[in-house]
Chain A
Amino acid sequence: MKAAHYWHCFIGIQTREWLRFWQQRTRFASALVRPLLWLVVFAAGFRAVLGISIIPPYETYITYETYIAPGLCGMIILFNSMQGALSMVYDRELGSMRVLLMSPLPRPFLLVTKLLSMGVVSVGQVYVFLLLALLVDVEPPLWGYLAVLPALVLTSLMLGALGLLIATWIKQLENFAGVMNFVIFPMFFMSSALYPLWRMNEASPWLYWICQFNPFTHAVEAIRFSLYLEWNPMAYGITTGVAIVLALLATAGFRPQRTKILGGKPA
């Protein structure tokens, strides 16, 4: 197989994802309602309770909306990735997965490309969210919008791979409610998305360490720092490392017979 074959395949998978996105744009728009509610309603309520001191990457006192915006970017990717991964092995995407797996190109390449294509659509949604966030005065520097792109793509790959791994291997989590309770909520709440970790440390040191071990924390911090044009090697390093490891595990360990791709019940 030549490089051109891989390229055509990569573009084909991306194109299909965008075509589907366009077909289902109302569904994707409604997916923005959740983070916007958090940003507008939840943050307004919480800003009165929570004082935020000056912490990097911010150079001044910030509003709570400004603090949680990067976490909500992570939330958009988290929900989309889990939903996307489940649909790959259990419902909407089964037909397209059958076609995908008939390609002569290596499966890890096909699956990573598929995860990336779903990630790119999530990233598009994050940008729409960030534009809307301007309305509540979340105003990162202009170049921050560009600088945050690699962090968003890495986060998408990391969470998409995690979703695929879970959907393939944990039968009990084959529906979205299960994934929401046992993966999405714990990952989101036990991270720095909603509160700075120093505050968590004051409240409970062991919870603080759980948050530190949660890769989502580092993905959110990578988003936060790059959005404000600051370099955070630890957050970036951990996010990249975890993304690579999870992508390897999810694609090399992918077994169609553990899914509904073949039709009927997974074995």
Chain B
Amino acid sequence: MTIEARNLSFRYGDKPVLREVSFALTSGGFHALLGPNGAGKSTLFGLLTRLLALQQGDILMAGQSLKKQPADAMRQIGVVFQQNALDLDLTVRQNLLYHAALHGLSRKEARVRGDRELARFQLLERANEPVRKLNGGHRRRVEIARALLHEPSLLLLDEPTVGLDVASRRGLNDHVRRLCESDGLTVLWATHLIEEVRPEDRVLILHEGKLLADGAGHAICEAEGTRDLAETFHTLTGAG
């Protein structure tokens, strides 16, 4: 599915947070949205998920405007939020069933799909445990499994590795990349951690609400005359 953002601008009161951001995501690709804290990544996610109302510009999903056809667009999106959005006291399966119901799936269908996703994430044997008993990495996996239940074509992940240790971070990142290859999923992975991005990835660098770079990681480095993405990121944003 093609996703296109056109001229997105957003302000909180007088404060501009996004300024004329435009980009198009390639169907079936892994895209890294890189930006320091406060760059506007979460605001952009808010607009993509309709938690924030568009003020200026439009978002097109498979050619459909998010403004005009919100239901069609929402069916295509799976989201993993930065903050935990699981019910810690409910079991893994109960959390999945709740999400599936919100997408209009019957309980029977939801169970089948839920078990399939959990099996893929090696979490099936923990289906009946309360989420509270799971470690941070596993909770994140449950959130991804949940986001895929309604078989979306776009997966949005807003800094999904926040609070995880290095090994879990790497595991999660690899996992999503594999999904991208196996399912043909379009992924937008927001992060401020440069080590989660590979040179061959399509990279969007956001800083102070402006899109400063958009292209393959190595191509951006070449254009900027830098050795690697870390240096590019530092040159463009002045951040770490």
A interface residues with partner B (beta carbon < 8 Å): 1-2, 4-6, 8-9, 11-13, 15-16, 19-20, 23-24, 94-96, 98-106, 110, 255-257, 261-264, 267
Closest chain A residue to B87, Cβ basis: A96
A255 B53 Cβ-Cβ under 8 A: yes
A99 B46 Cβ-Cβ under 8 A: no
B102 A13 Cβ-Cβ under 8 A: yes
Interface string of B45-89 (1 = CB under 8 A from A): 010011111000000000000000011101101010111111101
Size of B's binding interface in residues, CB under 8 A: 38
Q: Report A245 CB to chain B, min CB distance, Å.
A: 23
B interface residues with partner A (beta carbon < 8 Å): 12-13, 42, 46, 49-53, 70-72, 74-75, 77, 79, 81-87, 89-90, 94, 97-107, 146
CB pairs A–B below 8 angstroms (7 shown):
A4-B104, A9-B101, A12-B98, A15-B98, A24-B89, A95-B83, A267-B12
* A96→B81 CA distance, assembly (Å): 11
B98 A16 Cβ-Cβ under 8 A: yes
B51 A261 Cβ-Cβ under 8 A: yes
Q: How many A-B residue pairs have CB under 8 A?
A: 107
B101 A267 Cβ-Cβ under 8 A: no
A11 B85 Cβ-Cβ under 8 A: no
B81 contacts across to A, CB distance below 8 A: 95, 98, 263
B51 A4 Cβ-Cβ under 8 A: no
B71 contacts across to A, CB distance below 8 A: 1, 104-106
Given A20-B90, A102-B77, A255-B53: 13 more A-B contacts, CB < 8 Å: A9-B104, A11-B107, A12-B97, A13-B98, A20-B87, A96-B85, A98-B85, A99-B102, A103-B102, A103-B103, A257-B53, A261-B51, A262-B52
A95 contacts across to B, CB distance below 8 A: 81, 83-87
* A100→B74 CA distance, assembly (Å): 12
* A1→B51 CA distance, assembly (Å): 21
A99 contacts across to B, CB distance below 8 A: 85, 98-99, 102, 146
A24 contacts across to B, CB distance below 8 A: 89
B51 A23 Cβ-Cβ under 8 A: no
* A24→B88 CA distance, assembly (Å): 12
Q: Report B46 CB to chain A, min CB distance, Å.
A: 5
* A23→B88 CA distance, assembly (Å): 10
Q: Which of B72, B87, B101 is the one whose CB lies under 8 Å from A8? A: B101
A6 contacts across to B, CB distance below 8 A: 104
A20 B89 Cβ-Cβ under 8 A: yes
Q: Which of A4, A9, A19, A20 is the one whose CB lies under 8 Å from B102? A: A9
